[in-house]
Amino acid sequence: MKPLRIGLLGIGTVGGGTFDVLTRNAEEISRRAGRPLSVVRVAARNEAKARKVVPASIPLVTDFRAVVRDPEVDVVVELMGGYEPAKALILDAIEHGKHVVTANKALLAVHGNEIFSAARAKGVIVAFEAAVAGGIPIIKALREGLVANRIEWIAGIINGTTNFILSEMRSKGLAFADVLKQAQAKGYAEADPTFDIEGVDAGHKISILAALAFGIPLSFDKAHIEGITKIEAIDIRYAEEMGYRIKLLGIARRRAAGIELRVHPTLIPARRLIANVEGVMNAVLVKGDAVGATLYYGAGAGAQPTASAVIADLVDVARLIDADVNHRVPYLAFQPDRIGSEPVLPIDEVESSYYLRLRVDDRPGVLADITRVLADNMISIDAMLQKEPAEGEAQTDIILLTHETIEGRIRRAIAAIEAQPSTRGKIVLLRLENLA
């Protein structure tokens, strides 16, 4: 059978890893795909640097459109990242009848609806396993393995940089800024780490997972996103005392009123497996009505793990390239005419439990005033920790864990408690998920 002819856009970390694995495991991959997978053309910005990876027998160009429009290319693999020129190149490839494999989660989260619509009109495949959680096959699990289930919720540690930072803060008691410098020195964080530490990267990924799980359009613009920059070592320590770990989670949950789509630091019971995922590793927990909870764990980034996912997509293309369009797995798991219209809920309508840290005057009646405000807002307390004031101080910390409630209620209660003369400064709020 004739080879699947691949045009590679970008030969950096992931592109180089993909080329390496394709070459190293060529025979094994061919046996699985039913045909050879051959890189026939590569585009790179720096030709001299790329030649250190790409042998002279393979044409190498700096004109990316030359690869996209090459009639000898069957599938374009986009590994450049960013919005442009990646978006224009992918749409051009689709227009020229090329199948596309991409690891570009930011592009898909923001422009995926447009890209999938164009691909559908042309009858070509767009595959994106590597866009979420690196080498973990979570896209395939949601699109194929769990199709019998009504997915109830997803909760994922889907950004390795932030997981490393929080793990180090917990294990060593260090401040956020100090651990961020370590992450940058180790290459886990970019020089500009904004997308990671502010939760944007995780927001891109959970938006893709939510679309696959619930059959809704990609809705990144409606996601609620908070990062980890305000997390303090003291809250990690208090959470640990109460039996919880703090992780940056991407959460998508089906509710009667709509879909929760959110990213934020979250307390998780320390006994949960996902709470014990440390360092740069990723994990995604999926709850289906039939299968129950399933956990997917592994490397969420890196040249070889991501290459593993890219090549899995290429094997799918090789198997399905001659199949009838209607017999292929839909891009977003659901048939295009059955994509739902459930709203994404604003954060005030989200239901969660909460961790509150209050700095208050150490005198009688203060706790009674706080609990009265919570009761007035129909919020019940699950657990409480009151610290002894330091010697010579007249203030202390109170930590409250609430039962599940509507976020709008907790916000109103916080405003009322902060207005009390016995409250000092702002109340720290973190969400808590039991993930039972």
Q: Tell me the pLDDT tens digit for each residue of 118-162.
A: 999 999 999 999 999 999 999 999 999 999 999 999 999 999 999
59: pLDDT strictly greater than 80: yes
What does the chain come to in residues? 436
Q: Tell me the pLDDT tens digit for each residue of 367-386.
A: 999 999 999 999 999 999 99
pLDDT score at 421:
93
388: pLDDT strictly greater than 90: no
Instruction: Count the Cβ atoms, other than its own, within 10 Å of residue 137.
Output: 18
pLDDT score at 417:
97
pLDDT score at 226:
98
- What distance separates the 2 farthest-apart alpha carbons in the chain? 82
415: pLDDT strictly greater than 90: yes
Domains and CATH numbers, the chain: 4-135+303-338 (3.40.50.720), 141-299 (3.30.360.10), 350-432 (3.30.70.260)
Strand locations in 150-305 (E): 151-157, 224-225, 244-255, 258-269, 281-288, 292-299
391: pLDDT strictly greater than 80: no
Q: Tell me the pLDDT tens digit for each residue of 168-201.
A: 999 999 999 999 999 999 889 988 999 999 999 9
Among 98, 140, 205, 287, the one annotated catalytic: 205
Name which of 338, 296, 330, 51 is nearest 155 in CA terms.
296
Active-site annotation holds for 205: yes
Q: Is the dihedral of CA 254, 257, 259, 264 positive or negative?
A: negative
Mean pLDDT (whole number) for 307-336: 93
pLDDT score at 394:
86
> What's the token pair of residue 221?
């613009």
* pTM reported for the whole predicted model: 0.95
CA distances from 308 to 129, 155, 311 (A): 9, 23, 5
What is the signed CA dihedral for 210, 212, 216, 220, rounded to 10 degrees? 40
CB 246 within 8 A of CB 239: yes
Q: How confident is the model at residue 327 (pLDDT cuts 50, 70, 90)?
A: confident
